[in-house]
Chains A and B, each alone.
Chain A
Amino acid sequence: MLLLTIDWSFIIEKLILISVILGASLGVATYATWGERKVAAWMQDRKGPSRAGPFGLLQPIADGIKLFFKEEIIPTDANRFLFILGPSLAMLTACMASAVIPWGPSIELESGRIIALQVADINIGILYVFGVVSVGVYGIMLGGWASNNKYSLMGSVRAASQAISYELAMGISLIALLMMTGTLSLAEIVNQQHGFWENGWFTWNVAKQPLGFIIFLVCAFAELNRAPFDLPEAESELVAGYHTEYSSMKLGFYLFAEYVNLFISSAILITLFFGGYNFPFMDQVAGSVSPVVFSIICVLVLLTKTIMMILFFMFVRWTIPRFRYDQLMNLGWKSLIPLALVNMLITGAIIIWVLN
């Protein structure tokens, strides 16, 4: 009788939502690789990929096929199981964080059924993202260690210490934000940023927590292992760091997981600080179109904002040179953490003495 007690329509609805979200994030990540090469080319006054299809649009697909057909090499002294587990974990954790992002407002059907455009509205939402991020380090660490290569080990050690150091500042900068929102649920945080302007101030959190946003953004760069913080894979020092020994699609998984992470963390940044799917004059729009169309508009707004965020990440990557390792640690421990603590104190003082 176990099977009868399960609400099958609920499971099917969620399965469809998960497939769509996974498909979309993989699709966006695929074209983020193309976008990155185009952005790099544009900033360096080159043309970028232009041969495969119009504007080189088929380039990511060609790259994928190439990676699949390459010879797969596992070093003799590598730990086979962990060597394969590494990239798998990296990809798994990259995809997992998308579960708590609210992609749009709930749709109420005529039958009274409410379809939420969010896989799971858990009341620890943002902490779940932190949990996934902290587990994500294992993909890099295990891969680097299992390769049985000194450069790989150095890369994975760098990745782990960088991730742990910047997680602290990230967490503290987030506490200040959570003190203002009073909730951990991402759906609730987005609802509070409804519209654009209310009571003589912006509703979006970036205007309420500017310092917190900057700290969070810098930490996001570090957590993503992106330039200027791409020390774990610094090709000029570590010959590509933790994925030196990888070939074929396992290398592809590592590289691709990075772009999925880029997309997901941009979406989370938008959700936390730039109002998620909210946009100016959304109430007027909601009044004039049907709810389903309104939801689609909201999803498109979120995607547009996310892509702008991704472009910002790319511009920074091709503008700022890589940090030195001691500079990275000094920035994390001696600047960002004290700054985040001060931000938390100021926020607490404002909440107690000004807002009350």
Chain B
Amino acid sequence: MNLHQLVFWILSVIAIGGALGVILSRNPVASVLFLIVTFFAVSGHYILLNAQFLAIVNIIVYAGAIMVLFLYVIMLMNLNGDVEPQKSKLLQFAGIISGGILFLVLLAAFKTTQLSTTPINASTSIGLISELGQVLFTRFVFPFEISSILFLSAMVGAVVIGKKD
């Protein structure tokens, strides 16, 4: 086991533990904090793949901006695990069964999947920002522009909603 694998396992344990914490904790603020921990662990995985730009954007956008807004909303709504109405037993039971079935299907699908053993021939610098920029603005320029228009329309929508008559 080399250093790379060791870091991978540590990060994986943190990521899965954090993800479990998100759904298992009663307090919504704790859930958000666990989600932030998960984002950090996933960013660590990106760095292991030498995708530094993706890693830092994941932290800036998700952990830094979107989660702050989540926290904001939860704090202002003053949700508390103790006073929140709990779902009835029947609903919880139905949830467990349907989730279990989904898990079973996924497990069956993964079990029979043929994993390709040929490694992809990509240079190690493929995740660096200059390479990423080249690819985004040449090969994927059309999807890139389309998605930026999508963002623009979302922004216009927010302004329209936020504007007083």
Contact = CB atoms under 8 A, between A and B. Distances in A.
Contacts of A5: 2-3
A124 B52 contact: yes
Nearest to B43: A131
Nearest to A136: B64
Contacts of B29: 79, 82, 145
A131 B71 contact: no
A2 B1 contact: yes
A130 interface: yes
A348 B126 CA distance: 26
B45 to A, nearest CB: 16
14 contacts: A2-B1, A2-B3, A2-B6, A124-B129, A128-B56, A130-B56, A131-B56, A134-B68, A135-B59, A138-B36, A138-B71, A145-B29, A145-B71, A157-B75
A134 B53 contact: no
B2 A127 contact: no
Interface string B1-12: 111001000000
A141 B56 contact: no
A342 to B, nearest CB: 17
A127 B56 contact: yes
B76 interface: yes
A224 interface: no
Interface of B: 1-3, 6, 29, 33, 36, 52-53, 56-57, 59-60, 63-65, 68-69, 71-72, 75-76, 128-129
A30 B69 CA distance: 33
B3 A145 contact: no
Contacts, number: 67
A134 B3 contact: no
Interface string A1-45: 010011000000000000000000000000000000000000000
A89 to B, nearest CB: 11
Nearest to B67: A138
Nearest to A126: B56
B81 to A, nearest CB: 12
Contacts of A131: 56, 59-60, 64
Given A82-B29, A135-B59, A157-B75, A127 B53 contact: yes
Contacts of B57: 127
A141 B63 CA distance: 14
Contacts of B6: 2
A interface: dominant SS: helix
B52 A145 contact: no
Nearest to A160: B68
A172 interface: no
Given A123-B128, A134-B63, A135-B63, A2 B56 contact: no
Contacts of A270: none
Nearest to B63: A135
Contacts of B65: 134, 164, 167
A141 B64 contact: no
Contacts of A293: none
A184 B130 CA distance: 10
Given A82-B29, A135-B59, A141-B75, 4 more contacts: A124-B52, A145-B75, A157-B76, A164-B69
Given A82-B29, A131-B59, A135-B63, A6 B53 contact: no
Contact of A153 (B33, B60, B75): B75
Given A124-B52, A131-B60, A134-B65, A141 B2 contact: no
B54 to A, nearest CB: 10
A163 B68 CA distance: 10
A122 B52 contact: yes
A134 B71 contact: no
Contacts of A257: none
Nearest to B64: A134
A157 to B, nearest CB: 7
B151 to A, nearest CB: 13
A160 B70 CA distance: 11
A128 B53 CA distance: 9
Contact of B60 (A127, A156, A184): A127
A135 B63 CA distance: 7
A174 B29 CA distance: 33
Contacts of A6: 3
Contacts of B72: 141, 157, 160-161
A50 to B, nearest CB: 42
Contacts of A184: 129
Interface string A188-200: 0000000000000
